[in-house]
Amino acid sequence: MMPDEGQSKSYKIPISVLVVVYTGDLEILLLERADREGFWQSVTGSCELNETLFETAARELMEETGINVDEHHLVDWNRSNEFEIFNHWRGRYAPGVTHNMEHAFGLFVPGRVSIKISPQEHVKFEWVRIEEAIDRVFSWTNVDALRFLLKNRSSLC
Protein backbone atom coordinates (compact mmCIF):
# COMPACT_ATOMS: atom_id res chain seq x y z
CA MET A 1 0.00 0.00 0.00
CA MET A 2 1.35 3.40 -0.95
CA PRO A 3 1.33 6.20 1.62
CA ASP A 4 -1.34 8.86 1.14
CA GLU A 5 -0.18 12.16 -0.30
CA GLY A 6 1.34 14.17 2.53
CA GLN A 7 2.38 11.05 4.45
CA SER A 8 6.03 10.15 4.54
CA LYS A 9 7.24 6.64 3.86
CA SER A 10 8.45 4.83 6.96
CA TYR A 11 12.04 3.69 6.46
CA LYS A 12 13.99 1.12 8.43
CA ILE A 13 16.64 2.46 10.78
CA PRO A 14 20.11 1.24 9.67
CA ILE A 15 20.92 -0.09 13.14
CA SER A 16 20.10 -3.71 13.86
CA VAL A 17 20.70 -6.71 16.08
CA LEU A 18 21.77 -10.27 15.40
CA VAL A 19 20.88 -12.77 18.12
CA VAL A 20 22.57 -16.17 18.20
CA VAL A 21 20.32 -18.65 20.04
CA TYR A 22 22.41 -21.54 21.33
CA THR A 23 22.50 -24.48 23.75
CA GLY A 24 25.28 -25.66 26.06
CA ASP A 25 26.12 -28.30 23.44
CA LEU A 26 26.53 -25.47 20.90
CA GLU A 27 23.48 -26.32 18.91
CA ILE A 28 22.46 -23.19 17.03
CA LEU A 29 18.97 -22.13 15.99
CA LEU A 30 18.91 -21.18 12.31
CA LEU A 31 16.01 -19.65 10.38
CA GLU A 32 15.50 -19.76 6.60
CA ARG A 33 14.29 -16.45 5.18
CA ALA A 34 10.90 -16.36 3.47
CA ASP A 35 12.05 -13.75 0.93
CA ARG A 36 15.26 -15.56 -0.06
CA GLU A 37 15.23 -19.35 -0.37
CA GLY A 38 18.38 -20.93 1.03
CA PHE A 39 19.33 -17.82 3.07
CA TRP A 40 19.84 -19.16 6.60
CA GLN A 41 20.51 -16.88 9.54
CA SER A 42 20.23 -16.26 13.24
CA VAL A 43 17.51 -13.94 14.54
CA THR A 44 17.96 -10.44 13.12
CA GLY A 45 16.06 -7.19 13.04
CA SER A 46 16.21 -3.43 12.84
CA CYS A 47 15.78 -1.06 15.73
CA GLU A 48 12.56 0.87 15.92
CA LEU A 49 12.38 4.52 16.91
CA ASN A 50 13.35 5.10 20.58
CA GLU A 51 14.10 1.41 21.14
CA THR A 52 17.27 0.20 22.88
CA LEU A 53 19.38 -2.56 21.35
CA PHE A 54 18.30 -4.93 24.14
CA GLU A 55 14.63 -4.11 23.51
CA THR A 56 15.13 -4.73 19.79
CA ALA A 57 16.76 -8.11 20.48
CA ALA A 58 13.94 -9.13 22.85
CA ARG A 59 11.23 -8.00 20.41
CA GLU A 60 12.83 -9.76 17.44
CA LEU A 61 13.26 -12.98 19.41
CA MET A 62 9.57 -12.96 20.31
CA GLU A 63 8.41 -12.01 16.80
CA GLU A 64 10.62 -14.46 14.91
CA THR A 65 10.74 -17.44 17.29
CA GLY A 66 8.21 -16.99 20.10
CA ILE A 67 11.06 -17.06 22.64
CA ASN A 68 10.52 -14.86 25.69
CA VAL A 69 13.88 -13.47 26.88
CA ASP A 70 12.60 -13.26 30.45
CA GLU A 71 12.81 -17.06 30.56
CA HIS A 72 16.42 -17.23 29.31
CA HIS A 73 19.72 -15.39 29.44
CA LEU A 74 20.11 -12.68 26.76
CA VAL A 75 23.57 -11.10 26.68
CA ASP A 76 24.89 -8.17 24.68
CA TRP A 77 28.21 -9.44 23.34
CA ASN A 78 29.44 -5.84 22.88
CA ARG A 79 30.39 -6.64 19.30
CA SER A 80 29.22 -4.80 16.23
CA ASN A 81 29.89 -4.89 12.51
CA GLU A 82 29.06 -2.43 9.78
CA PHE A 83 28.03 -3.99 6.50
CA GLU A 84 26.82 -2.88 3.12
CA ILE A 85 23.09 -3.46 2.67
CA PHE A 86 22.29 -5.80 -0.23
CA ASN A 87 20.86 -3.88 -3.19
CA HIS A 88 17.61 -5.86 -3.13
CA TRP A 89 16.93 -4.64 0.44
CA ARG A 90 18.01 -0.99 0.06
CA GLY A 91 14.50 0.21 -0.79
CA ARG A 92 13.54 -0.43 2.83
CA TYR A 93 15.92 2.34 3.93
CA ALA A 94 15.93 6.08 3.29
CA PRO A 95 17.45 7.18 -0.02
CA GLY A 96 21.25 7.21 0.15
CA VAL A 97 21.51 4.72 3.04
CA THR A 98 23.92 1.98 1.98
CA HIS A 99 25.29 0.58 5.26
CA ASN A 100 23.89 -0.87 8.48
CA MET A 101 25.45 -1.25 11.93
CA GLU A 102 24.62 -4.64 13.42
CA HIS A 103 25.07 -5.47 17.13
CA ALA A 104 25.57 -9.08 18.26
CA PHE A 105 23.74 -10.72 21.16
CA GLY A 106 23.65 -14.26 22.44
CA LEU A 107 20.72 -16.10 23.97
CA PHE A 108 21.66 -19.19 25.95
CA VAL A 109 18.87 -21.76 26.23
CA PRO A 110 19.07 -25.01 28.26
CA GLY A 111 18.24 -27.16 25.22
CA ARG A 112 16.14 -27.13 22.09
CA VAL A 113 13.26 -24.90 23.10
CA SER A 114 9.93 -24.71 21.32
CA ILE A 115 10.03 -22.38 18.30
CA LYS A 116 7.13 -20.63 16.60
CA ILE A 117 8.42 -18.93 13.46
CA SER A 118 6.80 -15.94 11.82
CA PRO A 119 5.72 -17.16 8.35
CA GLN A 120 6.04 -13.64 6.93
CA GLU A 121 9.77 -13.71 7.72
CA HIS A 122 10.87 -17.37 7.75
CA VAL A 123 9.77 -20.63 6.15
CA LYS A 124 11.50 -23.06 8.50
CA PHE A 125 13.97 -23.46 11.34
CA GLU A 126 16.58 -26.02 12.32
CA TRP A 127 18.85 -26.70 15.28
CA VAL A 128 22.33 -27.50 13.96
CA ARG A 129 25.84 -27.94 15.34
CA ILE A 130 27.83 -24.70 15.37
CA GLU A 131 30.24 -25.91 12.65
CA GLU A 132 27.32 -26.52 10.29
CA ALA A 133 25.80 -23.16 11.23
CA ILE A 134 29.06 -21.41 10.31
CA ASP A 135 28.98 -23.12 6.90
CA ARG A 136 25.29 -22.46 6.27
CA VAL A 137 24.60 -18.83 7.23
CA PHE A 138 24.76 -16.36 4.34
CA SER A 139 26.00 -13.32 6.27
CA TRP A 140 29.64 -12.77 7.16
CA THR A 141 28.50 -10.95 10.31
CA ASN A 142 26.61 -14.07 11.37
CA VAL A 143 29.75 -16.15 10.77
CA ASP A 144 31.70 -13.66 12.87
CA ALA A 145 29.24 -13.97 15.77
CA LEU A 146 29.25 -17.78 15.59
CA ARG A 147 33.07 -17.88 15.60
CA PHE A 148 33.06 -15.54 18.60
CA LEU A 149 30.77 -17.99 20.42
CA LEU A 150 32.96 -20.95 19.48
CA LYS A 151 36.11 -19.18 20.70
CA ASN A 152 34.49 -17.95 23.95
CA ARG A 153 32.18 -20.86 24.72
CA SER A 154 33.56 -21.46 28.23
CA SER A 155 32.56 -17.97 29.37
CA LEU A 156 29.28 -17.81 27.40
CA CYS A 157 27.68 -21.22 28.16
Give domain limits for the chain. Answer: 15-152
Q: Do residues 50 and 118 lie in contact, with contact meaning Cβ atoms separated by under 8 Å?
A: no
Which pLDDT value is given to residue 99? 93
User: Tens digit of pLDDT for each residue in 36-95?
Assistant: 899 999 999 999 999 999 999 999 999 999 999 999 999 999 999 999 898 888 999 999
0.85 exceeded by pTM: yes
Q: Give the percent of the chain with pLDDT over 70.
A: 95
**Mean pLDDT taken over the chain:** 92
pLDDT of residue 4: 44
Phi, psi dihedral angles at 126 (to 5 degrees): -150, 150
- Answer CATH for 15-152 from 1.10.760.10, 3.90.79.10, 3.90.650.10, 3.40.1360.10: 3.90.79.10
Split at pLDDT 50, 70, 90, the class of 17 is very high
Q: How confident is the model at residue 9 (pLDDT cuts 50, 70, 90)?
A: confident
